[in-house]
């Protein structure tokens, strides 16, 4: 059986297409509302995870920007008291956003995220090809450049993660990603992973359908509890952000 070799320039070319593709995809993705369910786990004495609780949020547009509203706990709708509290929080958030807009301070920002540095701060190599959810993907490993000293806090944050990407061969968008903490980080211990899965929604935009955070947290470099949180994203609905929810003034 023939073995296909992948050169470094092949990996960089794939990553370059990957970096160019999201700009048009995320513009479409930003037009969707959705529901997020987060399952939080605790660990028994044998180190086995057990689901402890869950929270469900509705991600909507409020006064021109996204807003995360709690709608359920442990898969049960909020009681009337807590629902009223969440409604009051949303009204207050809307009022604050209106004030910012009227003062001229409020504006929509776009974050390029750490992937923008993959070509300059990382060594990239193609590990091979895999089929993910019926689609052909390049598997690319991105390792922080050995011996590169971070020039600033941004680079320090970026270089604390190694990445493994499953990039759709036809559309150059992510099918799966695994970020692994490999260096000093303010929140996560080395070895902590963040795994995301993506799907094309309504034949329109590639959006995350799940995320798993697994590893250890650190606070003041002393407390290091184990953590596992599983997120599921569903009920995607396209929404005209120009006509986002505008609430009345709180009473």
**Other CB atoms closer than 10 Å to residue 228's CB: what's the count?**
17
Put the strands of the sheet holding 32-43 in their side by side order.
76-77, 65-73, 49-62, 32-43, 226-238, 205-216, 193-201, 174-181, 161-168, 135-144, 122-132
Q: What band does 251 get if pLDDT is binned at 50, 70 and 90?
A: very low
Average pLDDT over residues 98-102: 77
223-240 pLDDT, tens per residue?
678 999 999 999 999 886
Three-state SS at 242 = helix
In this model, does residue 244 exceed pLDDT 90? Answer: no
Residue 224 has a pLDDT of 78
**Cβ atoms of residues 207 and 30 within 8 Å:** no
Please choose, from the candidates 211, 214, 213, 150, the residue with its C-alpha nearest in 3D space to the C-alpha of residue 183: 150
Please list, in sequence order, all residues whose beta carbon lies within 8 angstroms of the beta carbon of residue 171, skipping any fewer than 6 positions away: 21, 206
Average pLDDT over residues 217-227: 78
* Main-chain phi, psi angles of 108, to 5 degrees: -85, 130
25-65 pLDDT, tens per residue?
877 888 899 999 999 999 999 999 999 999 999 999 888 78
Least confident stretch, 65-74, 149-158, 214-223: 214-223
154-182 pLDDT, tens per residue?
898 889 999 999 999 999 999 999 999 99
Q: What percent of the chain has pLDDT over 70?
A: 84
144, with CB counted inside 10 A (0-12, 13-18, 19+), is buried
In this model, does residue 108 exceed pLDDT 70? Answer: no
Residue 183 has a pLDDT of 87
Residue 218 has a pLDDT of 85
Least confident stretch, 2-11, 81-90, 184-193: 2-11
């Amino acid at each position: 059986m023939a073995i296909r070799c992948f050169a470094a320039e092949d990996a960089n070319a794939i990553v370059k297409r990957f970096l160019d593709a999201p700009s048009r995809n995320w513009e479409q993705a930003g037009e969707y509302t959705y529901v997020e369910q987060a399952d939080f786990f605790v660990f028994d004495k044998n180190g086995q995870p057990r689901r402890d609780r869950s929270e469900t949020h509705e991600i909507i547009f409020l006064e021109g920007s996204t807003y995360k509203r709690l709608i359920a706990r442990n898969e049960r709708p909020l009681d009337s008291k807590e629902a009223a509290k969440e409604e009051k929080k949303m009204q207050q958030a809307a009022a604050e956003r209106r004030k910012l807009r009227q003062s001229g301070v409020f504006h929509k920002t776009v974050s390029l995220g750490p992937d923008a540095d993959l070509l300059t701060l990382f060594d990239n190599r193609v590990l091979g090809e895999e089929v993910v959810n019926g689609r052909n993907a390049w598997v690319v490993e991105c390792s922080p450049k050995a011996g590169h000293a971070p020039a600033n806090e941004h680079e320090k944050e970026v270089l604390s993660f190694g990445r493994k990407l499953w990039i759709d061969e036809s559309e150059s968008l992510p099918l799966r990603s695994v970020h692994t903490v490999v260096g000093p980080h303010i929140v996560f211990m080395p070895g902590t992973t963040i795994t995301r899965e993506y799907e094309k929604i309504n034949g329109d935009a590639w959006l995350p359908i799940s995320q798993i955070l697994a590893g250890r947290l650190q606070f003041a470099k002393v407390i290091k509890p184990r953590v596992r949180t599983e997120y599921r994203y569903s009920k995607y609905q396209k929404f005209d952000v120009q006509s986002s929810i505008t609430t009345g003034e709180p009473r």
